[in-house]
Structure 1
Amino acid sequence: MSREDAEAYLTQAGQCVDGDFPLLEAAIACALHEDPSRDAQQARDLGESGIEHLTHRLATESPEEALAETMAGDLAMGGDLFTYEHPDNADILSVAERRKGLPVALGIYYLHVARKCGLSVQGVDFPGHFLLRIETHEGPLALDPYSEGRVVLPSELTRRALHAGLTPNVADRLDRLMAPAPDRAVLMRLQNNIFARAVAARDFGRAERAALRRALLDPSDHRPWLDVAAAREGQGALAGALQALAQASTLDGGAALAARAHRERVRLQLN
């Protein structure tokens, strides 16, 4: 898949309704957009292996136990405890090869495998640490893909929420803490992570690609285009930055004022 092919696929995925969003394949397309020279078959094979193991385990184990044992035990997937900031932790192809990564990258595999086996599992856009929500006969449970899929108790959810800066009246609301996130938002969170790390490293080319992927995945949102503009400006591509700012203004009139001010600042640099 070339970079152009990846952009075409992400554009198509961006048009999907939430229930039809191809999470794993879109994540693979994002990784190939970053580096088209790689082979994605290992990543797909890992998903198929997970489906086989989980199907077998569900015959004798509860859904939450079977999912955790499949992903953390059979597939040996877990959090990278020693090199958390490594860029590979946010790349789905590298995660498949290394069997470790960020919570949201691991979560994509959990979601893919669980859904293929008929389980009701969704991402939770928890502040500071991505989680999963699995529906059981006893009610919804929170799972942490970074910690071998273990169940996170309500008291721990509240503690984490307070630590992340949420107010006590919000941190005690489990319905809000465990609100399911659309698959598109899960992949957007991963791309946001890549963007933030790239900007911190002043790798503006990588930052631009991550922001562009977000723009393709959610074509109605003007904010990724503001990040595309900032990344292009960081590379000295001022004409391209102006184009991105114009796109942001077109998508959302509420962004027009900020984008216009940003455009004028960039335009002054061209003169």
Structure 2
Amino acid sequence: MTRDEAEQVLAQAGQTTDEAFPLFEAALACAVHEDPERPLEPAREMAAAAVARLAGRLDRESPEEAIAEALAGDLRLNGDFLTYEDPDNADIIALADRRKGLPVLLGVMYLHAARGCQLPVNGVDFPGHFLLRIETGEGPMALDPFSEGRIVLPSELQRRALRAGLTPDYADRLDALMAPVSDRQVLIRLQNNIFARAQQRADWVRAERSALRRALLDPHDHRPWLDVAAAREGQGALAGALQALTRAQILDGGAATAARAARERVRLRLN
């Protein structure tokens, strides 16, 4: 798969409904878009093994135990505590080799396995640390893919929420803390993560690619185009930045003020 072909896959994924969103294939296309010079078979084999291992355990274990044992135990997927900032921690092709990554990348594999076994698992856009929500006979439970899929108790969720800066009244609302998000939003969160790290390093080429992937995955959102513009401006590609800002304005009139100010600044630099 070439980078152009990866963009086509992402554009097609962007046109699907949330229910039909192809999470693993879109994540694979994101990784190819970042670095196309790698074989895809190891990642596909890992994904197939995740589904098979989980299916084999569900007959004798509870769903929450089975998914943790299959992904963290059998496949050895775990959080990267030592080199957390390594860009490979956000890349699903690299995950097949390293078996470690960021919470949201690991979550993609958990969700792929769950979808393959019809398990009711969803991502949770928890502040500062991505989690999973699994529906059980005792109610919803939170799982942490970064820590071997272990269960996160409500009291710990509340402590984490307070540490993340949420107000006490919000931190007490478990329904809000565990609100599920779509698979599309899970993958967009991963791309946001890549963008933020690239921006911190002033790696504007990587930042532009990650922002463009967000724009393809959610073609109705104007915000990725603002980030594309910022990344292009960082590279000195002012005409391209102006095009991205115009795209943002077209998509959402609510962005017009911010985009117009940015366009004017870039236009003056062009002159």
So what's the TM-score if we normalise by structure 1? Answer: 0.99
1:1-271 equivalences under 5 Å are: 1-271=1-271
Q: CA deviation at 1:153?
A: 0.1
Deviations 1:165-188 (A, max 9, x none): 111111011100000001110000
1:107 and 1:226 map into 2 onto residues whose CA distance is 27
Please give the alpha-carbon distance, in whole angstroms, between the structure 2 residues aligned to 1:236 and 1:49: 44
Query: 3-state SS of the aligned residue for 1:197?
Result: helix
Distance (whole Å) between structure 2 residues aligned to residue 11 and residue 52 of structure 1: 29
How far off is 1:118 after superposition?
1.6
Counterpart amino acid of 2:177?
A: L
| Whole-angstrom distance in 2 between the partners of 1:96 and 1:256 | 42
Cα deviation for residue 206 of structure 1 reads: 0.5
More divergent stretch after superposition (228-237 vs 113-122): 113-122
SS in 2 for 1:19: coil
Tell me how far apart the structure 1 counterparts of residues 122 and 242 of structure 2 sit (CA, whole Å). 38
Q: Post-superposition shift, 1:37?
A: 1.2
Moved more, 50-59 or 236-245: 50-59
Could you list the runs of 4 or more consecutive aligned residues of structure 1 that deviate by over 3 angstroms after TM superposition?
A: none
Q: CA RMSD in A?
A: 0.6
What's the offset of the Cα at 1:39? 1.2
Q: Which runs of 5+ in 2 are unaligned?
A: none
- Give the Å deviation of 1:24: 0.6
Secondary structure of the residue aligned to 2:268 is helix
Q: Tell which deviates more after alignment, 147-156 or 109-118.
A: 109-118
Gaps of 5+ in 1: none
For 2:51 and 2:252, locate their aligned partners in 1 and report how far apart those are by CA, in whole Å: 41
Identical-pair percentage? 70
